[in-house]
Every structure is written in C-alpha cells, then in structure tokens.
C-alpha cells in the first residue's frame, strides 16, 4: 500500500520464481549414489531445489533424456554425445534466463554402478537368479549358475567389461543395454564362480570399477 494525499492506495508487487539450483555434490549415479564424476549414457540423479516439470538438463549444450522430476530431485540419462569430453557444465533450465548456476563436473568414459534391491547403492544387488526369481538371502543363487545384474555407467564406447564375485573373474555371457528398460540401464549376465561364498560383486568397465559393498546371495 502507498499513501497519496492522505489516502492509502493499493500497490501490486510481482515476485519472480526462484531459479533452480543444483545442490553441492548433488550430481550422482542413480545406481551407486557415487558423485564427483559422470559418464556418457549414465543414469543420473540430481538433488537441488526449485525443480519443476518441463525443466531440462543441459550438458555443455547437449540435452539429457528426462526420466522424472520432483521439486528437490530429478533423474536423467546423460547424453551419449559426451563421449570424448573431459568435463561438462551441467545446468538445469527452463529457458535461457531461468536456469541454475552451472556445475562443472569431470566426464569419464565409464563410471559403472550396480543397482541394489533397496536403491541405496549398497547391500543386496538388484539381481535375478537363473530361473528368473529375485536373488535374496532367502532365495540364493547356486554356484555355477547364471545371475542377472543391473547397472548403469558402462559407457558408450564398447569398453572391456569384467565382473568379479569375491574377487574372482566371472564368465560374462552378456553385458549391454538391458532389453525393455530405459536407455542407460545395463544388464550383466554372469556365472557364479564355484568357490564364491560371500557374494561381493564388482563391475569393471574399461579402467573403472563399481563401488564395493554390493552383494548377491549364494547357496552354500
């Protein structure tokens, strides 16, 4: 309200919407929740604030494939076109005058991560036994049989792929895009070593390995 000649007059104020913002260290693998680096074609989760439907994520001018968005979290598939890049500016935007402050992040050819049963990035893997049933302590895999693992971050350059269970090199029967799932989701069909017991799984793509602490259940 303003006062003119002794009378109160209404005044209209327009407050602009706050711009989106990416949280510090808020760009993470959607599988392992490891941060500080991304890879082409990787499924990512971004944390921050003021995210809204219709926003896009820009990686040095390349737009990511959107998966979902909430006010404080969104998920995208990093552009495959980042292959060969060493770094990228990441921006959440609706248009050129309503965007987040750029976050500069390193780009690796691969940054493998395994999905887990509780989506925490640690503990029991999101895995299937050879018969298609869910692997769990109550339903363990049999040694010598095949388990199916899921991950992201294997890169787009056909990098050498290895899977280790309890440090033992597994036979990998298939490693690539998971049939019927979103782009960036990897499927790994591997044979459980005969001498595996603990069931800790590590996925190597190129020179990079997934974080430790992911397990499958193995029948004794």
Per-residue pLDDT of 118-177, as tens digits, reads 999 999 999 999 999 999 999 999 999 999 999 999 999 999 999 999 999 999 999 999
pTM for the model:
0.90
* pLDDT score of 185: 98
Distance CA 185, CA 145 (A): 23
pLDDT at 3 over 50: no
State how far the Cα of 78 lies from the Cα of 65, in Å rounded to an integer: 7
Judge whether residue 4 has pLDDT over 70.
no
- CATH code: domain 113-215 is 2.60.40
- Cβ-in-10-Å burial (0-12, 13-18, 19+) of 122 comes to middle
Tens digits of per-residue pLDDT, 5-63? 555 555 444 456 789 999 999 999 999 999 999 999 999 999 999 999 999 999 999 99
- Cα 43 to Cα 18, 67, 75, 88, 134: the distances in Å are 27, 9, 7, 16, 23
**CATH: 3.20.20.70, 2.60.40.10, 3.30.300.280, 3.40.50.360. Which one for 21-106?**
2.60.40.10
Can you give the residue ranges of every domain in the chain?
Answer: 21-106, 113-215
| DSSP label of 123 | E
Query: Strand 214-215 vs strand 123-124: parallel, antiparallel, or unpaired?
Result: parallel
**Is there a common fold for 21-106 and 113-215?**
yes
Question: Tens digits of per-residue pLDDT, 53-101?
Answer: 999 999 999 999 999 999 999 999 999 999 999 999 999 998 777 899 9
Predicted confidence (pLDDT) at residue 220 exceeds the cutoff of 80: yes
* Residue 7: alpha-carbon gap to chain centroid: 60
Classify the phi-psi angles of 70: left when phi > 0, otherwise alpha if psi is within -120 to 50, otherwise beta: beta
pLDDT digits (tens, 9 = 90+) for 180-216: 999 999 999 999 999 999 999 999 999 999 999 999 9
Task: Measure the CA dihedral 29/33/37/40, to 10°.
Answer: -10
CA distance 85 to 195: 40
Q: What is the pLDDT, as a whole number, of residue 62? A: 98
Let me know: does 115 contact 151? Beta carbons within 8 Å.
yes
Identify the residue whose tokens are 């019927």: 180
């Amino acid at each position: 309200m303003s006062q003119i000649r002794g009378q109160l007059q209404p005044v209209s104020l327009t407050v602009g919407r706050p711009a989106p913002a990416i949280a510090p260290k808020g760009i993470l693998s959607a599988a392992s929740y490891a941060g500080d680096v991304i890879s082409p074609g990787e499924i990512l989760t971004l944390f921050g604030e003021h995210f809204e439907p219709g926003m896009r994520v820009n990686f040095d001018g390349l737009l990511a494939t959107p998966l979902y968005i909430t006010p404080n979290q969104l998920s995208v598939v990093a552009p495959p076109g980042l292959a060969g890049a060493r770094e990228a500016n990441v921006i959440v935007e609706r248009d050129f005058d309503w965007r987040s402050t750029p976050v500069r992040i390193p780009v690796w050819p691969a940054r493998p991560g395994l999905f887990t049963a509780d989506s925490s990035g640690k503990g029991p893997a999101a895995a299937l036994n050879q018969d298609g049933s869910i692997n769990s302590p109550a339903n363990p895999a049999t040694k010598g049989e095949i388990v199916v693992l899921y991950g992201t971050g294997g890169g787009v350059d056909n990098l050498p792929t290895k899977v280790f269970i309890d440090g033992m090199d597994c036979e990998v029967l298939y490693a690539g895009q998971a049939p019927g799932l979103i782009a960036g989701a990897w499927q790994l069909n591997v044979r459980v070593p005969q001498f595996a017991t603990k069931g800790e799984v590590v996925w190597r793509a190129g020179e990079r390995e997934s974080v430790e602490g992911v397990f499958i259940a193995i029948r004794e």
